[in-house]
């Protein structure tokens, strides 16, 4: 158990920082990979290409989150299905948060988008920490 306040703060915020850096890095890289995929698969439906591109990120991000954000030793046969289910839950939550932001609260697109992704990311972090990568 960490003994100093500094060590305790690092123990709390390191997973949050790593989670944000990994997810944020993937979010920054995704549009560029997607543009390349869309240019090569120009006759495919764009939403299908985008889903395929997004799915390419699932396993690398899982591995990075498992190793660096949560330093988990949980068995892959348990953690990976939980991670995939968490991704589905996050999509549903994002839909709900976006519906609240845009349809109920009538927020501008930029503010509503930020609110939806922040709330979804918080929920995802909690699921990953307390369930997916729990040992």
Q: What is the pLDDT of residues 110-131, one digit of tens each?
A: 888 889 888 998 999 999 999 9
Rounded CA separation 80/88 (Å): 13
Q: Residue 52: which residues within 8 A CB-CB, separation 6 or more?
A: 37
Q: Could you list the residue range(s) of the whole structural domain that residue 90 is in?
A: 72-135
pLDDT digits (tens, 9 = 90+) for 57-115: 999 999 999 999 999 999 999 999 999 999 999 989 988 998 999 999 998 988 888 89
How many structural domains are present in the chain? 2
Among the candidates 23, 38, 70, a domain finishes at 70
User: What does the angle CA 111 – CA 120 – CA 47 come to, to the nearest 5 degrees?
Assistant: 80
Are 80 and 64 within one domain? no
């Amino acid at each position: 158990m960490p003994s100093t306040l500094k060590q305790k703060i690092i123990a709390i915020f390191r997973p949050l920082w790593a989670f944000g850096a990994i997810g944020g890095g993937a979010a920054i890289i995704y549009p560029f990979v997607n543009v390349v995929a869309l240019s090569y698969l120009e006759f495919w439906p764009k939403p299908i290409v985008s889903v395929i591109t997004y799915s390419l990120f699932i396993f690398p991000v899982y591995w990075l989150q498992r190793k660096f954000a949560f330093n988990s030793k949980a068995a892959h046969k348990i953690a990976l299905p939980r991670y995939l289910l968490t991704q589905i839950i996050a999509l549903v939550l994002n839909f709900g948060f976006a519906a609240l932001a845009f349809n109920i609260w009538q927020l501008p697109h930029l503010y509503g988008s930020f609110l939806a992704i922040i709330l979804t990311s918080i929920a995802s972090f909690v699921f990953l920490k307390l369930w997916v990568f729990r040992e």
